[in-house]
Amino acid sequence: MNATSALPGTMDRTEFAELLGLSKRTNDDLVTQGLPCVLLGRRTVRFDPAVVVAWVKRGGGVWCWGAVHPPHVT
């Protein structure tokens, strides 16, 4: 069983970066800043678009010009 069949409805990092209009590197940087994802093994990352949208709506980031930014700390 591969990662795609193990997690239906998820996207790999290339698909998700294309969806957001970002480079894979920027997408990876956002993961280190808290963008929710599932890590399968050491190198396989999957994204559930519905989970990311819910995270943004909860204040986990601000959707702006096609990118997710971490919230400002005051």
Taking the CB of residue 10, how many other CB atoms lie within 10 A of it? 20
For position 47, what pLDDT does the model report?
92
For position 61, what pLDDT does the model report?
60
47 with 10: CB under 8 angstroms? yes
Distance separating alpha carbons of residues 45 and 50, to the nearest angstrom: 16
Strand (E) or helix (H) holding 37:
none
* Residue 55 in this model has a pLDDT that exceeds 60: yes
The phi, psi pair for 55, rounded to 5°, reads -60, -45
In the chain, the N- to C-terminal Cα span, in Å, equals: 45
pLDDT in tens, 10-51: 999 889 888 888 888 888 888 887 888 988 888 888 999 888
The ranges assigned to domains in the chain are 3-69
For position 73, what pLDDT does the model report?
43
Match domain 3-69 to its CATH number in 1.10.150, 1.10.3470, 1.10.10, 1.20.140.
1.10.10
